[in-house]
Amino acid sequence: MTLLDLFLSFLQTGLFSVGGGYVAIPLIRSQTVDVHGWLTEAELMDLATIAEMTPGPIVVNGATFVGLKIAGVPGALVATFGAILPSLIIVSLLAHIYRRFREMPLLQSVLASLRPAVVALIAAAGINMLLQVAFGGRNAVALANARWAGIALFAAAFFALRKWKANPILIMALCGAGGLLLGLAGAF
Amino acid sequence: MEQSKPKRLLTLFASMLYISAFTFGGGFVIVTFMKRKFVDELHWIDEREMLDMTALAQSSPGPIAVNAAIQVGWKMGGFAGMLAAVLGTIIPPMAILTVISLFYQKFAANRYVALVLRGMSCGVAAVILDVSVSLGRNVLKTKNGVYLAVMAAAFVATFFLKINVAWIILSAALIGVIMALAARKGGKRA
Residue of B124, B134, B133, B126 whose CA lies nearest to A155? B126
| Mean pLDDT on B162-175 | 88
For B10, B103, B137, the CA distances from B15, given in Å and listed in that order, are 8, 29, 27
Task: Say if residue A91 is in the same domain as residue A138.
Answer: no
Largest Cα–Cα distance in chain A?
A: 59
Euclidean distance between CA atoms A31 and B133, whole angstroms: 40
CB neighbours of residue A108 within 10 Å: 14
Backbone angles phi, psi at A135, to 5 degrees: -130, -10
Q: Whole-prediction pTM value?
A: 0.87
Residue span of the structural domain in which A14 resides:
2-101
Cross-chain Cβ contact B90/A17 below 8 Å: no
Task: Say if residue A82 is in the same domain as residue A12.
Answer: yes
CB neighbours of residue A156 within 10 Å: 17
Instruction: Give burial (CB, 10 Å; 0-12/13-18/19+) of B163.
Output: middle
Question: Residue A171: which of B65, B126, B135 has the nearest Cβ?
Answer: B126
Return the pLDDT at B43: 96
* Summary mean pLDDT of chain A: 91
The ipTM (two decimal places) reads 0.87
Return the pLDDT at B176: 94
Return the pLDDT at B101: 84
Residue of B136, B112, B67 whose CA lies nearest to A177? B112
Task: Say if residue A18 is in the same domain as residue A79.
Answer: yes
Largest Cα–Cα distance in chain B?
A: 71
Cβ–Cβ under 8 Å, residues B63 and A20: yes
**Chain A interface mutation, best of B29, B32, B76, B118, highest count of A Cβ atoms under 10 Å:** B118
Euclidean distance between CA atoms A140 and A158, whole angstroms: 22
Task: Report the number of distinct structural domains present in chain A.
Answer: 2
CA B52 remoteness from chain centre: 10
| Mean pLDDT on B55-81 | 93
Cross-chain Cβ contact B168/A109 below 8 Å: no
The residue among A101, A126, A146 that closes a domain is A101
| Mean pLDDT on B53-64 | 90
Task: Say if residue A15 is in the same domain as residue A70.
Answer: yes
